[in-house]
Amino acid sequence: MYYLGIDVGSVSTDVVLLNENLEVIEKIYLRTKGRPIQTIQEAFKILQNHYDSKDIKAVGTTGSGRATASFLVGADAVKNEITAHAIAALELDPEVRTIVEIGGQDSKIIILKDGIVTDFAMNTVCAAGTGSFLDRQAERLEIPIEKFGEYALKSQTPVRIAGRCAVFSESDMIHKQQLGYHPSDIIGGLCEALVRNYLSNVAKGKEMKPKIFFQGGVAANIGIKKALEKALGEEVFVPRYHDVMGSIGAAIIAKETLEKNKLKTKFKGFHISQNEFLSSSLECTGCSNRCEVVKILENGVEISCFGDRCGKWSEKLAV
């Protein structure tokens, strides 16, 4: 018996399979590239070679593309990223009080007390506090992003780099390069700049109490972890599956939802990887809201609509 979790983000789509003990037995990381439906199908093609659809007992989706993914695969639970990340962290350690999550395109902070989310904040405006910013700078410095953390740890005196804005940060970094600063000190400065950006924007006004978990793809960068610990004066813990915590949380939520309500899964099966899916959007002119409605067709048949506020389109599903 397995539990499937799918986290569809703007940069990556993460799929995990958990066993009965909620241990990760399969992890798939794929670039979304603006094609969430095709990316999920690609993941299912991989899974169907090793697992039987009948063994999937619950499916959960999360991330910015959770609604699309839900209709596509037949999900049993659909939850936002805040809840999914919190559930996954608490499953690992009930004592966690603060979750720092930095992904490719956004970052967030989650504050917990007695196992309950009491506060959170997200940053989706400026790229200076995200992984995509580090990717661009790694490319400019001609250093593999996987080596960024190692370089940062070698820095003796990190260079002070403006961190409030991605454009200013990049200009400042180029200026420091031209002045001849060592790459390790520049990278160390970039890590500290990203952390300052995070703390002054996303975490502004939040009390970050230990135990602190660091989740998301950027948590793999040991330079950022070190910069966080230096700024906070606290130890920061990086979970083993830090990059797929959202999908782990989604799978756990789906399992608990079905067990609580004594229901069977709505999972359609891995065979949907062979089906043809098309999506289109329209602007509803039925009222002043002018909702943007998204339609999904499976093999030419409309299977879902979402995005409307009144239910005019979403309640008119094909049977």
Rounded average pLDDT per 10-residue block, the chain, 319 residues: 93 93 95 88 95 97 89 93 96 97 86 96 68 75 77 81 66 77 84 87 92 92 92 96 96 96 94 87 88 84 78 63
What does each C-alpha distance from 95 to 44, 69, 98, 99, 237 come to in angstroms? 35, 32, 9, 11, 12
Fill in the DSSP letter of residue 158.
P
Which of 217, 201, 208 has the alpha carbon at shortest distance from 235?
Answer: 208
Are 91 and 252 in contact by the 8 Å Cβ rule? The answer is yes
Q: Both 69 and 107 in a single domain?
A: no
Q: 83 and 7 in one domain?
A: yes
Domain that holds residue 185: 98-241
Query: Are both 133 and 202 inside the same structural domain?
Result: yes
- Residues 183, 316, single domain; the answer is no
In this predicted structure, what is the pLDDT of residue 124? 58
Query: Looking at the structure, do residues 256 and 128 belong to the same domain, yes or no?
Result: no
Q: Do 223 and 306 share a domain, yes or no?
A: no
Give the pLDDT confidence score for residue 319 in this predicted structure. Answer: 37
**Which residue, among 132, 136, 101, has the nearest Cα to 228 in the 3D structure?**
101
The whole-number pLDDT of residue 318 equals: 39
User: Domain check: are 257 and 286 in the same one?
Assistant: no
Is residue 66 located within the same domain as residue 114? no
Measured between alpha carbons, how far is 249 from 94 in angstroms, rounded to an integer?
14
Q: Are residues 281 and 194 in the same domain?
A: no
Q: What is the CATH number of the domain that holds 45?
A: 3.30.420.40
Q: Specify whether 51 is located in the same domain as 110.
A: no
User: What's the token pair of residue 169?
Assistant: 């940060």
pTM, to two decimals = 0.84
Residues 237 and 251 in one domain: no
Domain count, the chain: 3
Q: How many CB atoms lie within 10 A of CB 129?
A: 28
99, 89 in Cβ contact below 8 A? yes
Q: Are both 126 and 231 inside the same structural domain? A: yes
Tell me the two tokens of residue 196: 């300052």
